[in-house]
Structure formats: structure tokens, C-alpha cells
Structure 1
Amino acid sequence: MSGDTPGARLRRARLAKNMTIHDLAVATGLSVKTIGNLEANRTRALLPHLRVLAQVLNVPLYYIGCFENLPEKTLGQRIRKARVFHGLTKEELAQSIGVNPKTLQSWEQDKRKPLQRYLTALKAYLAILGK
């Protein structure tokens, strides 16, 4: 297992808390098999699962997800990176700013640009990237 993958980071965080996979499963409500698969990088965690894992392990969500490695060259990439840094699904962010999740997806894919009123709403979320 590579040293800088979501699975490796999850395992390091779990071991730093002196937890077994079983302990983490009990604390998060995820199955032992799911946690084993996540640590082995056989599956990727959904954002709601990452939120619970990060909370239980007392580490930032972006750390477990390796989100700092996501590109941010385009506005769409920046929107996606900011969204996942905040631990939000497309549906959650879309609801928060008052758009359809498909609209948000089109922004993240750089197929469309947000109108100014939505850029203003996104500004608070994008601030997490520090640029």
C-alpha cells in the first residue's frame, strides 16, 4: 500500500488512535469489511462516510480524502475542491446556494459558468482554498 493514499492515511489515523478496524467499525457504524476495503484502497469512501471517519479519528476530512491533491486550475475544479474540503455532496452544496445539483455538476465540469449571484454565494465556500 502506498504511503500517501486515502487508505494509507485512514490506517495511520486509526492506528494513531490505537483503534482496531473493529473498533473503528463500531464507532462509525461502517462494517469491518468496508473499512478494510477503504484501507486497502479497493473502494473509495463517500463523503458522508469520510465525515464520520474524520470526526471519529479527529483528523481533517480533506486529510483522509487526500483532497489537497485535487487540481484547482479551473473554476470548476476549484468549486469541486472547495465542496469536498467542506465535506459536502453536490446535493448539499447545491441546496445551500439554491441551484439544482445538475447545475452544480455542470459548473464543476466546466461546462457552464455560474451567474454572478451564484459566484457571490460560492465565494464563502471557495475561501477555504485560500486563493
Structure 2
Amino acid sequence: MDAVYEGKSGSKLRWEFHQAAEPKIVPPFLAFTAARKGGLEYIIYYACTELRFDDDCDLWVAIGSDDFSMVWVNDQLIWASGKQQKKWRVDEGFRKVHFQRGVNRIFYRVENGHGQTEFSLAVAMP
């Protein structure tokens, strides 16, 4: 996750750590700030995290995004929202997800049409 990517208008993009105090994630992050200086309206965000479990388990997750989003758990697509522009809601979608014993990687893609974006993923623990 140390790679640097070229974004729109030549901006340099890289992964950056973010610890959220609440389920809703609201940029700006460094990449967002750099991209907005170019007057861009359409921005794609990626988020990645890992969850560890002592045993296999099936848990409910709640997903929300402004605007379009897709979520993968261990490379399996578990969510794709409607493509319309919309406001963030913590309860936009629910999925029962199988988590494996050990490390489970979550990958989140958010496409924002204009203005501010928000996204969330909450896991209901047993």
C-alpha cells in the first residue's frame, strides 16, 4: 500500500491511514483536497481494512454511501448500490456476510458525483 498513482489533472494519489471515530467516513483526505483544486466533480475513493475473527462466523453488515459504492469481502462482491446520485444513509443496505477464521480483507469503492461524499460499513458483532 506504499504505491503512488497518477490521478486526474496529474495529482499524485496514495493510500493514507484514517482512523474513524464514527461509522460515517467523510473526506477530505489529501487526495480529495488535491483533486478538488482542479475543479473536478467526479471522484472515486477506495478504502481497505482487515477484520480478524477467532472462528468462522456469519454477521450482518450495514452499508451506506453518497453516491455509488461497491464492497468486497475476501475478493467476493457483497454489495453494489444503485448508480443514482443520493445522500448517505447508514441503513442503505444490509448483507449477511460469511467471515472466515483469521484475517478478512474488506475493499470499498465509492464514486462521488459532485460535492461532498460520505460512506460507511458497520459490522454487527455477536
TM-score, normalised via structure 1 length: 0.26
Name the structure where helix makes up a greater proportion of residues: 1
Kindly name which structure, 1 or 2, has the bigger radius of gyration based on alpha carbons.
1
